[in-house]
Amino acid sequence: MATDAPRKPWQIDAELSGGYDSNVLLQDDSSNKSTGSKGWAASADLRGTWRFLDEPTKRLSVQVFGHYDDYPAQQEANLARIGAAVIGQTQFDLGSLGPVDPGVVVAAHRLWLDSKPVASVVSGNVYASRLSGGSLDVISLGGQRLVYDRQNDASGFLWELAGRHWWLVEADGVRSLLRRFEFSLRAARFAARTEPETWVGLHPTIGAVWRFGEQQKLGTVDASVRAGYEFRWYAQGAPGLPSETQRIASLRLSAAFWTCAQSSVGPYVVLTNRDSNISANDFSRTQAGLRLTAQW
């Protein structure tokens, strides 16, 4: 979605968070595994953006980013990720439909678990967004090529088709995007090298975002809540087991208290529950802590 607001050509975003995790997950393939371990957890994110082209109807930027999850009680689950992305966007006027902003994102990632290489990901995504009156609509189609170093059978290609609708409480201004109600629906198919690792999924999500205040400054608070329910069906069971069906419910709550125009701090809570017809794959997870963000 294009706007006329001028921006500097570069931007750096950083995030630090820490808190409690009741069930650390091992993310060594597309179906996260419960370790049963609990304890303190910390994570760090750093992203740099350079805008080569930043006109109201034409934009092109490059991002580099890094992420790290640290679990002192379960170090084999420590996850590191670095990557880069190229993002392009333009705008077309479709007459009675108004302006539509199509774009493309191409990215590559490398992941490590416990300091050991675990996977490479190359992805591409095309999308189109339309802002009209009191709503924003986005539709996207993307694919990811996932190659796992340790589990070759779990490698494969992930297709995703997604749609998102935002109801904006206010029709004009940047704040309108920060006072909204959301609905999204994502359909996915992961075609792995073997049938037991192949699945299709459907994931609806609802949510709300609300800014208390006018700008990013001391006293302004951004609050959000999102609830999702994912259905996932596997093509075939592992030897001696039936085909798996998973239902994954999640609830995310967060608040950001702005301390100045460039930084905020606030709590987060994430509740996750996975229910499977294979009881060994059931798990519940609670994550809670504080998050600090900074922008330059």
What pLDDT digit, counting tens, does each position of 101-125 carry? Answer: 999 999 999 999 999 999 999 999 9
Domain spanning 92-295 has what CATH number?
2.40.160.10
Residue type, 89: Q
What pLDDT digit, counting tens, does each position of 240-261 carry? Answer: 788 899 999 999 999 999 999 9
pLDDT of 82 reads 98
Q: 2 pLDDT exceeds 50?
A: no
Could you tell me if 291 and 11 are in contact, meaning their C-beta atoms sit under 8 angstroms apart? no
pLDDT of 177 reads 82
| Nearest residue to 199 (alpha-carbon basis) of 248, 150, 166, 165 | 248
3-state helix, strand, coil in the chain (%, to 5): 5, 70, 25
Domain boundaries, the chain: 92-295
Would the pTM of this model clear 0.85, i.e. be above it? yes
Residue type, 1: M
97-132 in b/e form (b: 16+ CB < 10 A) is: eeebbebebebebebbbeeeebbbbebebebebbbe
d(CA 226, CA 235): 29
Q: Provide the 3-class DSSP secondary structure of residue 114.
A: coil
Q: 281 pLDDT exceeds 90?
A: no
d(CA 40, CA 78): 12
Lowest mean pLDDT among 8-17, 59-68, 88-97, 116-125: 88-97
Q: Rg of the chain over CA atoms, in angstroms?
A: 20
pLDDT of 3 reads 45
pLDDT of 162 reads 98
CB under 8 Å to 14, separation ≥6 — which residues?
Answer: 44, 45, 46, 47, 293, 294, 295
Residue type, 251: L
Q: State how beta strands 263-276 and 156-168 pair.
A: unpaired
d(CA 2, CA 101): 7
Q: 149 pLDDT exceeds 60?
A: yes
Could you tell me if 10 and 50 are in contact, meaning their C-beta atoms sit under 8 angstroms apart? yes
The dihedral through the CA atoms of 82, 54, 263, 23 has a sign that is negative
Q: 196 pLDDT exceeds 70?
A: yes
